[in-house]
Each structure stands twice: as C-alpha cells, then as structure tokens.
Amino acid sequence: MSRELVISMGPGEVRAGVFVDDRAVDLILERAAAESLVGAVFLGRVLRVLPALPGAFVDLGLSRPAFLPGRHKLAEGAALMVQVVKDAFADKAAELSTSIELRGALLVWTPQRPGVFISRRLPPALRAGLSTTLAALVHDGEGVTIRQDVASGDPDRLRDEVAALRSRHQQIRRAGLTARPPSRLDAADDPLAGILAAAGAPPDRILIDDLPGLARLRRLVPECRSESAAAGAPEMWALDEAFAAALAPQVRLPGGARLWIESGVAFTSIDVDLGMAAVGRRVAAEVIRRVNIDAAEALAREIRRRNIGGAIVVDFVSMPDRRHRQDVEAVLSAAVADDPAGVQLHGWTRLDHCELTRRRVRPSLADLMLEPAGPRRPKTPRTVGLEVLRAFAGQAYAPTGLRVRAHPRVTAALMGELSGLLVAAQDRQGQRLDIDADPGCPVESFDIHPG
C-alpha cells in the first residue's frame, strides 16, 4: 500500500492531498487569511464565567472570544493558559482546553496527562514494543499517545520527537511568564508544517510543485522522501480533480446511482438516489441492498476527504428487509472505523434515516471555499480569485503581457483583498496581469490570455 502526500503551493494558499494507492483519502487547505488555530496556545483573559452552561468566555485577542467548556474555578479578568481544540464555525466560538497537547508526526505529547496510550488498532507485537520504548522516554507527570497510523516503532525517531515536543513546551511556558494577556504563546505554524500535522503519519513520498517549499520540507521532515513535481504532473492533475470532486454536490456510484450531499446549518444531509439504476425496470430488494452498500462505502470516503463535521443524516434507499439494513450499517461502521476524526453511528430514525456524527475540528472544504448558502454552493469570489493567481503562476512568459477576464465580483476581490498577492505574483512571474471585468462571465469562470 503506497501513501503519498501531494502539495500544491499557490499565492495565498496551499492545497494538499493524502493519496493511498492513488486514491485521495484526505484533502487539506491552508490559507493565509483563514489559518486554522487548532493546537495554538494562548495566554487568554477570562471575560465571563457562565456556571449554567457550564463554561467561560475567554479573550484571545481575536475578533471574538473563545469558549472554555466545563466547570473551572475561574475569576473574571484572570489570565489563563489555554489551547484551541476546535476552530470557530459559523456562529459558534472556537473551543478551548486548559489541558495542553503537542502533536508530532508520530505521537501526541501531554505534559498534564500522564500515561502511555497506544491505539488498539496497531498489531499486538508493535504495541508491546512501543509501550516499552515510550515508558522509558516520558518523565513524571508526562504522557504520550501513539496515533493509529504510526508507521514504525523506531526508538530514535520517537525519542527525537518527544524531546522536540518537550523543548517546544518549555518555550511556551517561558513565553507565558513575560506575556501580557491576551497574546499567543507559540509561534504561528509554517503552512507546510500545518499540512504535515494534518496529514498524519509521514508518507512514503511527498511531491510538491514549489522549489523553496521543497527545501523547507526537507528541513521539516528529513526522514521523508520529498521530490519536486511540475505543475502539469499527473499527481498535480489528480490533486486538482480531487478538490473539484470534493466540492461537487453529487457523487456517482456504480450502476448509475448517486449520492447528493448538502450541508445545512444544523446538519449535513446525504441522499442516496437510485438514478439510472431504477430506469425502466422494477428494482429488486437485492439491487437496493447493493446500491446502499456502495453508498455507505462512498459516503465514508466523502465525509472524510471533504472534512464534514457535526451531525450527518443519511437517507438510504428504503429497505423493507431489516437484515439488509443491518448489512448496510455494518459496512458503514467498518468504512468509518479508520477515520482519524472519529465517527459515531447513532442508528436509524422512524423515517428510516441513518444518523451519525463526525468530530468537527477544522472547517470543511465547503465552508472554506464555497458560498454559505444555496442548494449548490458556488465558489466565493475569493476562492476564484486565488484560482486566477494560481493559474497565472503557471503561465509561460508572454511578451505582450497577460490579461484575465472574470466576473466583476472576482476582479473586485483581485483588486481589493487579494491585491497584495496579485502584486507579489506579478513580481514573481516578471510580468503584469491586467484585469478585465465582464458581467457576462460566470462567477466561477475566468479566462487568462495574452494581452
């Protein structure tokens, strides 16, 4: 089984995908203006304690306070070291914890939760070896948790990672002694470091379409085989296609059936549509069972690579035979078992809908890249503007210069919030990109051509 991490650097954003045997398993997006704060450590100031919830709002120096759940003996106005465990989403505040965890490529180091915790999904022999190795590495009061996708139990790599995380925690504590709340105590991650952390265990190979980025990768993960890839390489096309597919509301299934995925404020709904599988004939119960099993496997892949979190309601094709419903639930349970975010199945409603929840940590791809409402959520002008800059960065030099024709909302984004990135892209390419606003151009389309 091959595991590759493909990274595409673009002005203002980094896109990445984890591919297992050439299939996209996880898709990751890091944007300069929408940086995830999960894992960031702050010295916050308690704004308001709410015993009824229970919890407290904490000022981190951001646009709005974050929420610390649970019963804590806190005084309003007090300084408090906290870590972000969930990003803000819609009208929900970011979620905090006072228990600091520092994540590496192989393990999670916890200075406040002692013990060695190893995923039971790892082979018994590997678990036993890891337990012995890690018990000798942790100090009193410390703990480590081994991720289920860890590739090896190399003692030297584990020792180096524990030492690096312990040193990072010491730097955070020293910063907290002199900082005035609210302030961030750890350094903001390099976007590539964020990609590597989100990707999980080190892959067999990393491909990147940016030479400076390649140099940074080789410093960040010297043990991984990192290689440069041209913008038009097959792996880069596969990454673009995976992102496009993950933003589409429809997923095709074998035999002509389809999944329809629609995110709402309260939950994400997934409808299984027989489509062409039901055209011109009576559909047998076994055919419906097979379609629903295919749908269960597909939706497990889709909610993971789209990073859909929260409540999910699935409307499978109705199955009168309860044994068929149990078959589908068993397939779905097995398909989500390896999802690192954690998925819980909650059974079936009286309307024969299947309910599940997936832990929400970061915004989904749709939340980052699409407009907030509508049956088919279009891309935001910012997303299209960044795609214009990405396409411009891949163009050959044109003696007469280049022009882009786009919708006025997109050109307004390019000349407004993205203007700094536009100037930087022009400097890097050594040529201008003139902008033409065309109201007749669809918002999600654009055309780059010689001037």
Is position 168 within any domain?
A: no
CATH number of 208's domain: 3.30.420.40
Convert the pLDDT of each residue in 200-225 to its tens digit: 877 899 999 999 999 999 988 888 89
| 381 pLDDT tier (thresholds 50, 70, 90) | very high
Q: How far apart are CA 13 and CA 273, in angstroms?
A: 35
CATH number of 307's domain: 3.40.630
Convert the pLDDT of each residue in 334-347 to its tens digit: 999 989 889 999 99
- Which residues contact residue 438 at a Cβ distance below 8 angstroms, ignoring those fewer than 6 apart? 405, 406, 407, 408
**Domain count within the chain:** 4
100 Ramachandran zone, left/alpha/beta (phi>0; psi -120 to 50): beta
Residue 156 pLDDT greater than 90, yes or no: no
201 and 283 in one domain? no
Give me the DSSP letters along 55-73: EEEEE-SSSS-EEEES---
Domain holding 58, by residue range, is 41-98
Q: Residue 53: its pLDDT value, please?
A: 87
256 and 351 in one domain? yes
341 and 286 in one domain? yes
Q: How far apart are CA 323 and CA 318, in angstroms?
A: 12
265 and 351 in one domain? yes
252 and 324 in one domain? yes
User: Which two tokens mark 394?
Assistant: 């891949």
Is position 117 within any domain?
A: no
Q: Residue 377: its pLDDT value, please?
A: 79
Exposed / middle / buried, residue 70 (Cβ in 10 Å: 0-12, 13-18, 19+): exposed
Q: How far apart are CA 430 and CA 396, in angstroms?
A: 10
In 80-154, which residue ranges form alpha helices assigned H by DSSP?
A: 124-135
Between 106 and 386, name the one with better pLDDT: 386
Residue 374 pLDDT greater than 70, yes or no: no
Q: Residue 31: its pLDDT value, please?
A: 85
Is position 235 within any domain?
A: yes
Convert the pLDDT of each residue in 273-331 to its tens digit: 987 665 545 668 888 999 999 999 999 999 999 999 999 999 999 998 889 999 999 99
- Is the Cα torsion angle 133, 139, 145, 147 positive or negative in sign? negative
Is position 412 within any domain?
A: yes
CATH number of 433's domain: 3.40.1260.20
Residue 440 pLDDT greater than 80, yes or no: yes
Q: Residue 151: its pLDDT value, please?
A: 56
Convert the pLDDT of each residue in 12-34 to its tens digit: 899 999 999 999 999 999 887 66
297 and 222 in one domain? no
Q: How many Cβ atoms are within 10 Å of 268's Cβ, its own excluded?
A: 22
Lowest mean pLDDT among 11-25, 232-246, 264-278: 264-278
Is position 111 within any domain?
A: no
- Which residues contact residue 121 at a Cβ distance below 8 angstroms, ignoring those fewer than 6 apart? 148, 338
Q: How far apart are CA 360 and CA 309, in angstroms?
A: 4
Is position 138 within any domain?
A: no
255 and 343 in one domain? yes
| 264 pLDDT tier (thresholds 50, 70, 90) | confident
φ/ψ (deg, to 5) at 34: -135, 45
Q: Residue 106: its pLDDT value, please?
A: 79
267 and 224 in one domain? no
353 and 252 in one domain? yes
Average pLDDT over residues 419-435: 94
Q: In what order do the strands lie in the sheet with 343-348?
A: 250-252, 258-263, 268-273, 310-315, 354-358, 343-348
349 and 442 in one domain? no
257 and 306 in one domain? yes
176-188: string of b/e by CB count within 10 Å (b at 16+)? beebebbbbbbee
Q: Residue 88: its pLDDT value, please?
A: 87
Tell me the percentage of the chain whose pLDDT exceeds 70: 95
426 and 349 in one domain? no
Between 425 and 89, name the one with better pLDDT: 425
φ/ψ (deg, to 5) at 136: -85, -15
Residue 265 pLDDT greater than 80, yes or no: no
3-class secondary structure, 249:
coil
Is position 430 within any domain?
A: yes
The distance of Cα 111 from the centroid of its chain, to the nearest Å, equals 26
| 373 pLDDT tier (thresholds 50, 70, 90) | low
327-348: string of b/e by CB count within 10 Å (b at 16+)? bbbebbeebbeebebebeeeeb
- Taking the whole predicted model, whether its pTM rises above 0.85 is answered as no
Q: Residue 281: its pLDDT value, please?
A: 53
Is position 142 within any domain?
A: no
Q: Residue 375: its pLDDT value, please?
A: 57
* Domain termination residue (choose one: 55, 71, 98): 98
